[in-house]
Amino acid sequence: MSRVKRGVAAHKKHKKLLSQAEGRRASKHKLVRPAREAAMHALRYAYRDRRARKGQFRALWITRINAAARDAGVSYSRLMNALRLSGIDLDRKVLADMAIRDPKVFRHYVDLIKEKASPQTNKS
């Protein structure tokens, strides 16, 4: 059986890895082993943070809806509860976008909710 020299393949693999680690500090952009560790950590962080981004956006939407709702005279929790009870199926992303881009329409929804909620508060 003939001998297979693997230097070319290894060199190609190392060059690819070092190009992924460009911009890192110290030995992480020059040496293969630290570069591999840095690249693996970076990929792990990227995977984790792609999922964390969803929660961060939800928190942003809730903050925006709460600010706009309080300007209209109702709290976030009461607004969301009233929307759910009245059967208005708008998710937080749409509500937050509406609160920023079209405050008049958002205020219209809040006023609708207030009208439906006012007879309930008089009963108790």
Domain of residue 100, CATH code: 1.10.1900.20
Q: For residue range 41-76, what is the model confidence (pLDDT) as tens digits?
A: 999 999 999 999 999 999 999 999 999 999 999 999
- Measured on CA atoms in the order 110, 114, 115, 120, is the torsion positive or negative? positive
Residue 15 identity (one-letter amino acid): K
Whether residue 96 lies inside any domain: the answer is yes
Q: Is residue 4 part of a domain?
A: no
As for how many domains the chain has, the answer is: 1
Determine, yes or no, domain membership for 55. yes
Whether residue 2 is contained in a domain is answered as: no
Dist. CA 27–CA 18, nearest whole Å: 11
Q: Answer whether residue 3 is part of any domain.
A: no
Could you read off the pLDDT tens digit of each residue along the chain, which spans 124 residues?
888 888 999 999 999 999 999 999 999 999 999 999 999 999 999 999 999 999 999 999 999 999 999 999 999 999 999 999 888 888 999 999 999 999 999 999 899 888 877 665 555 4
Half-sphere exposure of 118 (CA within 13 A, CB side): 6
In a domain, 1, yes or no: no
- Tokens coding 64: 């925006």
Q: Is residue 48 part of a domain?
A: yes
pLDDT at res. 66: 96
| Cα 113 off chain centre by | 28
pTM above 0.85, yes or no: no
Q: Which domain holds residue 47?
A: 9-123
Rounded CA separation 122/118 (Å): 7
Does residue 52 form part of some domain?
A: yes
